[in-house]
Amino acid sequence: MSAASTSSTSSSTAAAAAAIPKAQFDFIPLLLLAALPLLAWPLIGSSSTWATLTLAGLAMGLIVFIIASGLTLVFGLMDVMNFGHGVFIALGAFMTTTVLAAMSGYTESPLLLANLFAVAVAAVVGMSVAGAVGLVFERVLVRPAYGLHLKQILITMGGMIIGEELIKVIWGAQMVPLPLPEGLRGSLLLGDVAIEKFRLVAVCTGLAVLVALLWLLNKTKLGLLIRAGVQDREMVESLGYRIKRLFVAVFVGGSALAGLGGVMWGLYQQGVTPLIGAQVNVLIFIVIIIGGLGSTLGCLVGALLVGLMANYTGFLVPKVALFSNIGLMVAILMWRPQGLYPVTQR
């Protein structure tokens, strides 16, 4: 082939690529996220109170994002409606009570590094146990119901009920206290703004999970194979890759993220009950519906909106706080019925 023909071919390819329309990023949901604190500011009045509530809401939102990201991952990549997600949250929370009780020398130490080490060990153990149980959950309950959403909902809800009863057998039915380690108690003062120390840890953890998920799904071969398997499973299998194993890994990873979320939520609540997973389940489904089913970015924006709304309404109108997130979901779905960032538009 001559140089002229090669140059002509490359130029035509470049022209064809340039002719393909590029999807434009939708900034409107991000503007909504920025507008909510601005609208709340004049209602709250005090700048220091507003800043404290805003930071607390963002921290709560990132904890909820950690919990919901596992469910978003499983649904977005595997098309599995896992209503048993709460059992992995509860496992992570209860494993934290056991681990931190065994590491009392670290949790009672005034050294921050010792406290963070204890929390990190609890997080690793909670994620490992939740991931292992998730593997059994997928093989026994979820695998026979692939592609059957109604059966998935019924089977996984039954699995969560069984899991809750087993948790009661092991840890009891009563609430188990989960106090924060000594160095994570109290707040830091920046002028008149109070920031709880644990919320800073929650913010850092949530951002780390977000970066790790985006990197894994968009920058690695594993993420490419998983996304390709969702689009065309037969083609990927014909290339010699075992999609079933990849999907099992996704489910285990989503369960482990739920376990990490349970660790953070249990410490946030400073107490754990067997129903903690079922209670949070409602919140995380609100988040993923607001964000758009299967969307990681939508999950993040939805979680932050929920966290901010809960803190603002809890301060301004406490009686409305319980219903504020449902009202937020209804308002957003009336505006965008498929959520803020539906997967079909990514």
Proportion of the chain above pLDDT 90, given as a percent:
38
pLDDT value, residue 14: 46
Residue 45's region, left for phi above 0, alpha for psi from -120 to 50, else beta, is: left
CA 187-193-198 angle, to 5 degrees, is 30
pLDDT value, residue 16: 44
pLDDT value, residue 222: 79
Q: What is the mean pLDDT of residues 29-40?
A: 91
pLDDT above 80 (res 88): yes
pLDDT above 90 (res 217): no
pLDDT above 60 (res 17): no
pLDDT value, residue 108: 87
Q: What is the mean pLDDT of residues 157-179?
A: 91
pLDDT above 90 (res 87): yes
Q: What is the mean pLDDT of residues 207-215?
A: 90
pLDDT value, residue 293: 79
pLDDT value, residue 273: 92
Residue 300's region, left for phi above 0, alpha for psi from -120 to 50, else beta, is: alpha
Minimum mean pLDDT among 21-30, 51-60, 181-190, 216-225: which range? 21-30
| Band of pLDDT at residue 344, cut at 50, 70 and 90 | low
Q: What is the mean pLDDT of residues 30-40?
A: 91
pLDDT higher at 344 or 145: 145
pLDDT value, residue 231: 66
| Band of pLDDT at residue 346, cut at 50, 70 and 90 | very low
Q: What is the mean pLDDT of residues 111-128?
A: 93
pLDDT higher at 243 or 7: 243
pLDDT value, residue 345: 44
Backbone phi, psi, residue 246, to 5°: -65, -45
Q: What is the mean pLDDT of residues 88-116?
A: 91
Segment 326-339, tens digit of pLDDT: 889 999 999 998 88
pLDDT above 70 (res 11): no
Segment 277-316, tens digit of pLDDT: 888 888 898 999 999 877 888 899 999 999 999 999 999 8
pLDDT value, residue 102: 92
Q: Kindly provide the b/e burial profile for residues 166-198, where b requires at least 16 CB atoms within 10 angstroms of the residue's own CB.
A: ebeeebeeeebebebbbbbeeeeeeeebbbbbb
pLDDT value, residue 318: 85
List all residues 6 or more positions away from 127 whose beta carbon is below 8 Å from its beta carbon. Answer: 92, 256, 257, 259, 260, 263
pLDDT value, residue 300: 92
Q: What is the mean pLDDT of residues 136-149?
A: 86
Q: pLDDT averaged over the chain?
A: 85
Proportion of the chain above pLDDT 70, given as a percent:
91
Among candidates 72, 66, 59, which has minimal Cα distance to 92? 66
Q: What is the mean pLDDT of residues 266-277?
A: 91
pLDDT above 70 (res 12): no
Distance CA 271, CA 106 (A): 19
pLDDT above 90 (res 24): no
CB count in 10 Å sphere of residue 24: 6
Q: Which residue has the tokens 């409606």?
A: 81
Instruction: Please tell me whether the overall predicted TM-score, pTM, comes out greater than 0.75 for this model.
Output: yes
pLDDT value, residue 27: 85
CA 329-209-75 angle, to 5 degrees, is 50
